[in-house]
A and B are shown apart, each in its own frame.
Chain A
Amino acid sequence: MRFLNRSAGRISRHRRAPLAGVLVLMFGLLMTGGLYSAFSPNAQAETAVTSAEDIQKGKELFLVGCAFCHGKNGEGVLTQRGTQYGPALTDVGAASVHFQVDTGRMPMAQPGQQAIRKPSVYSDEEILQLAAFVDSLGTGPAIPSEQAYTLPDDMTDDERQEAITRGGQIFLTNCTACHNFDGSGGAMPRGGFAPTIRGVDPIHIYEALLTGPQSMPSFSDGNLTPDEKRDVIAYLQNTESKPNYGGFGLGAGGPGGRGGLCWGVGIGALVGFAIWIAAHTTRTNRTKPAAAGTDQTGASA
């Protein structure tokens, strides 16, 4: 294995290799981090053409897997106390379904808790069929195409650079408050949490921004333009491809976690050394022939 990698941290501005090379690198990194190996759902999302047959199949899937909480026609289910058991899905759109089901958040074992990311139980085709059915129930954002969350190929280096920088500023303004500067997530009230967005597929980040899953506020196209969303994703990809300049990162531990390391590693190691320095060395029963007669209790000062 080649440990030493010269110029792996190379960034786009002064890159001499063809543009496609970097794109391949970025996607390679993303794919390794992602959960999805066999098929690229993105590619399918583009090529999928919604047909009546898909909607019908989606409806069948919906009735089996979703209707118990969301109602047979996605109208939502209320509890006896009038609170929502499962929210209405009439206007959430295909993007929302794709996000929730593809990240495994839906279906949930039981409503109430925050839905967490887990392996999806549906195939990519089934997810598209479900999305097609829910999309047919009302209006709502469609599944974004790959162009929506990828910087276009024909951008110059400087434009690309600017897009990443702007994306970073938008990220730090709108996202870090909950998801942390590192994208590693953070705590929310009453046991809720903002999940990590490290290693999340760009399409899911885009869909989450667009639809605002669970408690997350939405960043609809009227709020954050599609280009701005794309720039945020470009920034995240850019920083994820960067090395840890200063050594092993400490993730979400933040300054408090560093305090733990200061005590555990720093003070721990130094106290260990102090014990070694003051420890008595091995002794022997033999005596030094020449010194045997001297005063062994030491001189007085």
Chain B
Amino acid sequence: MSDHPTGDHLPATVEEPIANPGLPAHTWRPTDVDPKAERRAERQVASLFGASAVFTVLFAVSYFTFEVGENWDTFMGLGASNVFLGLTLGLALLCIGAGIIQWARKLMADEELVEYRHPARSSDEDREGTLQALSAGLEESGIGRRPLIRNSLLGAVGLLGVPAIVLLRDLGPLPQDTANAATGGGLRHTLWGVRPNVRVVRDVVGTPIRPSDLIIGDLVNAVPDGLFDLHGRELQVAKSKGPVIVVKMEPREIKSGGNWAVEGILAFSKICTHVGCPISLYERTTHHVLCPCHQSTFDLADSAKVVFGPAHRPLPQLPLGVDEEGFLVATSDFTEPVGPSFWERER
């Protein structure tokens, strides 16, 4: 292929049926021919730059004037510091940008230039030269003649992937190694199972609940007793598996799951079985609970069966009972893993 730009690597038929009339003649802008317009444009650009400088000064003034912290100064109900810093910085930048562009549009030469393209491929001589260099280099290395060296090197380098993978092993423990019913660790245990009859306590305040505290239609966001004694990692992990929603409904409205209920009070895992959002959007009239993330809907009167949405499994139910002091307790841990499904869930 020739080095000439019009090789057969380009489409050739675009010139018909009408011949290319060629670049139109250059026309001038008022700023090119009229010194007055030119001076006006010059003043415009300079005043934009000047305005930018003013805004920059105002930015510094705003920075030192407006208070943040406990007593934010406000401007029409907005945080004054943020609004003025943003506006002054933004306008300072916009003025510089607009000035430069106005300069380019009005005052810089605007005759269009033509540059020729060249094919992306290298010339034949260059290709030839490269191939020669390549084969000479490979020949001198002897990589083709010494397969033993080549193959052992490839094997050794390939094996170096092993340390890269092995080194990542300690990123975290294996799921099965964390399983511990006594501490509620792992994918299949929660804080509800660490001892018999863990009390159901209200979230945030941590007070236990008597069945008589609740009236029909009540919803309690609850957690296992002992959760608030935990800290750091243990607290967060327990919170991600332990929370339940406790609802009270007319016992006659319970279609299934009633054998784990106490006086019409039912408790279900708050962790959605789809991807694990906590859910408590409960409708007391229909007993449906909705997930705010992906809108799975569960019927709490019917063992939290899925009635709508992408979830497949019902919310795990927590078997309820009452301890000797008359407080609601879980008679055992959940009987299945809470939260989203995973590969070895049924194993």
Contact = CB atoms under 8 A, between A and B. Distances in A.
Partners in one complex: yes
Interface of A: 3-11, 13-14, 166, 169-170, 173-174, 177-178, 186, 188-189, 192, 194, 212, 214-220, 222-224, 228, 243-248, 273, 276-277, 281-288, 291, 296-301
A150 B199 CA distance: 32
A281 B78 contact: no
A173 B201 CA distance: 13
Interface string B77-88: 111101100100
A186 B26 CA distance: 61
Given A217-B247, A297-B23, A301-B116, A223 B218 contact: yes
A85 B292 CA distance: 30
B41 to A, nearest CB: 10
A288 to B, nearest CB: 5
Contacts of B83: 247
A188 B280 contact: no
A88 to B, nearest CB: 12
A223 B75 contact: no
Given A189-B297, A281-B105, 7 more contacts: A14-B71, A223-B213, A243-B77, A291-B28, A296-B25, A300-B114, A301-B113
Contact of B221 (A5, A174, A276, A297): A174
B325 interface: no
Interface string B208-230: 01101111011111000000000
Contacts of A288: 28, 32-33
B14 interface: no
Interface of B: 22-23, 25-30, 32-34, 67, 70-80, 82-83, 86, 97, 101, 105-106, 110-116, 202-205, 209-210, 212-215, 217-221, 247, 278-286, 288, 290, 292, 295, 297, 308
A39 to B, nearest CB: 28
Contact of A217 (B79, B115, B282): B282
A243 B82 CA distance: 11
Contact of A298 (B111, B278, B290): B111
A299 B113 contact: yes
A212 B284 contact: yes
A52 B70 CA distance: 53
A300 B114 CA distance: 5
B292 A177 contact: yes
Contact of B214 (A189, A216, A222): A222
The residue among A10, A177, A178, A244 with the most chain B CB atoms within 10 A of its own CB is: A177
Contacts of A188: 281, 283, 290
Nearest to A4: B75
Contacts of A166: 204-205
Contacts of A10: 70-71
Contacts of B67: 6-7
